[in-house]
Amino acid sequence: MKYKRILLKLSGESLMGQKGYGIDENRLTDYAEQIGEIASEGVQIGIVIGGGNIFRGLSGATKGFDRVKGDQMGMLATVINSLALSSALCAIGVKNRVLTAVRMEPIGDFFSKEKAIRLLEDGNVVIMSGGTGNPYFTTDTGSSLRGIEIEADVMLKGTRVDGIYTADPEKDSSATKFDEISFDEIYARGLKVMDLTATTMCKENNLPIIVFEMDTKGNLKKVLSGEKIGTLVRK
């Protein structure tokens, strides 16, 4: 495998699969099997999942929710998704632990860098939930922070599309895909890969990102085997 330790960022929306809301059990199983496949080959895997399939704090704030409370609800949504993935991994015999950014034992252990790295080195998939534990930060920023903290070799951002395009390929049929792009070019072009805080953290801490399509079974292993799918973002 090309990378020894990864941070895998999954969107909450992708967990909906064919449903309009919540968690699609088939999609969850597909993800668990892909993760288990690379874990069995010795890759150390940290995971951050969004919560947009259940609640998104920012959109809630536009509908009358207090922004801080809305973001806290979003953090709890990521915990629900993390527990679901943990359960799916347990069902296929993959060792894993859920860590939370705010204290909520016995649901999960409180996150610390040392604990996360120790668990990774012991062969656990480590699912890091609750975002950063603070309002006004997205789970993209949470995944950048956790990726840097666990000293990951790369962040893999699993999405519905197969990489970064000049425009949204779901809206613009003339959009073309980048095989590789720099952080500076993302800024210059105004591309919405991740929020600005997240991409800046990755750039400043030299954490490359690969954006790829996670919903096709086997793609996660292909990325880790060095196949040229998705888009690589680096300095």
Query: Residue 3 region, left (φ>0) first, then alpha (ψ -120 to 50), else beta?
Result: beta
Q: Determine the pLDDT at residue 61.
A: 62
CA 46, CA 127: separation in Å to the nearest integer?
6
Amino acid in position 72 = Q
In this predicted model, what pLDDT tens digit does every residue of 49-91 receive, in sequence order? 999 999 876 666 677 778 899 999 999 999 999 999 999 999 9
Q: Provide the 10 A C-beta neighbour count for residue 54.
A: 20
Range of the domain at 66: 5-234
Across 185-214, average pLDDT = 94
Q: In terms of Cα–Cα distance, which of 213, 118, 117, 95 is closest to 161?
A: 213
Section 160-166 average pLDDT: 92
> In the predicted model, is pLDDT for residue 170 greater than 90?
no
Neighbours of 103 (CB within 10 A): 12
Q: Where are the alpha helices (DSSP H) in 51-133?
A: 57-61, 67-91, 113-121
pTM to 2 decimals? 0.94
13 and 81 Cβ atoms separated by less than 8 Å: no
CB-count burial class (<10 Å; 0-12, 13-18, 19+) for 210: buried
What pLDDT, on a 0 to 100 scale, did the predictor assign at position 39? 98
pLDDT of residue 139: 94
* pLDDT tens readout for residues 97-128: 999 999 999 999 999 999 999 999 999 999 99
Average pLDDT along the chain: 94
Two structure tokens written together for 190: 């105004």
**Is the Cα torsion angle 59, 191, 137, 50 positive or negative in sign?**
positive
Of 90, 88, 94, 52, nearest to 73 by C-alpha is 52
pLDDT at 1 over 90: no
Number of domains the chain is built from:
1
If 0-12 CB within 10 Å is exposed, 13-18 middle and 19+ buried, where does residue 172 land?
exposed
Query: What six digits make up the tokens of 20?
Result: 């309009």
Task: Provide the pLDDT for residue 192.
Answer: 85
Q: Is the pLDDT of residue 202 over 90?
A: yes
Cβ burial 22-34 (10 Å sphere, 16+ → b, else e): ebbeebbebbbbb
Mean pLDDT for the stretch of residues 38-55? 96
Q: What is the pLDDT of residue 169?
A: 85
Please answer whether residues 154 and 210 qualify as being in contact, where contact means their C-beta atoms are separated by less than 8 angstroms: yes
* Direct distance between the N- and C-terminal alpha carbons of the chain, in angstroms, rounded to an integer: 22
Residue 224 sits in a domain whose CATH number is 3.40.1160.10
